[in-house]
Structure 1
Amino acid sequence: MIKKLMLAVAALVASTGIAFAQVDVNKADAAALDGVKGVGPSMSKMILDERAKGEFKDWADFQDRIKGVKGKKAMKLSEAGLTVNGKPMEAAAAKPAKDKTAAKTDKKAAPAEQKAAM
């Protein structure tokens, strides 16, 4: 009984690893695309329709042609295993994060400078 339970747990762990397999938008069918977290039937149809017009060249091309996929969404899809021409999206290609600490210090410095000018 314990052996069967351990075998079932091992199978579950192994199948979870499959969910993170790389799926290339230029080669995958609808089922494979639907298997990527964040891609549903409507997005996979959109991907297949656009791919019929020509393969995606890179992530920028993919983002231009697929409605609703921009910086953050594209990064999440890449992290979930989606690739374009076998390449994941590079972090540098994503929209750069704003430096919140610099903005806070600028706001604090401005009133102090204004008082000094008076």
Structure 2
Amino acid sequence: MLGLLLSGMAFAADRININTADASTLQQGLANVGPMKAEAIVAYRRQHGPFVHVEDLARVKGIGTATVERNRQRMTTGARQAPAEAPPRRAAPASVPRR
């Protein structure tokens, strides 16, 4: 059981950060991404800023949703989801003195 957990952690660590990887890394690490698509990803990132979600990669010309889905487990944006904030607490109503 521990081996499975550790192998899953190693797999997650090997993901390619599409916000920081260079074209060579993108080309070598992602399926159906050749040199032109890898350069297009880097150029899109320079022009539009970092990707928020891996799905945003489909906005790059030449990258479709099929390519995103095929590579979903190989990619990360490097962003960690922040824990949901607790809703603000309401102040207790002030007690009203009896007469």
The TM-score, its normalising length taken from structure 1, stands at 0.47
Identity of paired residues, percent? 24
Deviations 1:44-90 (A, max 9, x none): 100110111211111332212x12323322111224x1223358xxx
SS in 1 for 2:38: helix
Q: Are residue 29 (structure 1) and residue 19 (structure 2) matched? A: no
Q: Are residue 56 (structure 1) and residue 51 (structure 2) matched? A: yes
Deviations 1:7-52 (A, max 9, x none): xxxxxxxxxxx9xx31111011122111122211001100110111
**Residue pair 2:26, 2:33 contacting (<8 A) in 1 also:** yes
What are the ranges of 5 or more consecutive residues in structure 2 without an aligned counterpart? 1-10, 81-99
State the alpha-carbon separation in 2 of the partners of residues 76 and 86 from structure 1.
Answer: 20
State the alpha-carbon separation in 2 of the partners of residues 51 and 23 from structure 1.
Answer: 15
Decide which structure has greater helix share. Answer: 1
**Kindly tell me: are residues 30 and 39 of structure 1, through their superposed partners in 2, closer, same or farther at Cα, counting changes over 3 Å?**
same
Deviations 1:83-110 (A, max 9, x none): 23358xxxxxxxxxxxxxxxxxxxxxxx
Deviating above 4 A after TM superposition, structure 1's stretches of 4 or more consecutive aligned residues are: none
Q: What is residue 62 of structure 2 aligned with on the other side?
A: 68
- 40-49 or 28-37: which moved more? 28-37
The TM-score, its normalising length taken from structure 2, stands at 0.55
State the alpha-carbon separation in 2 of the partners of residues 86 and 23 from structure 1.
Answer: 12
CA RMSD of aligned residues (A): 2.6
Q: What is residue 109 of structure 1 aligned with on the other side?
A: none
**Residue pair 1:58, 1:85 contacting (<8 A) in 2 also:** no
**Residue pair 2:27, 2:35 contacting (<8 A) in 1 also:** yes
Q: What is residue 90 of structure 1 aligned with on the other side?
A: none
State the alpha-carbon separation in 1 of the partners of residues 71 and 32 from structure 2.
Answer: 6
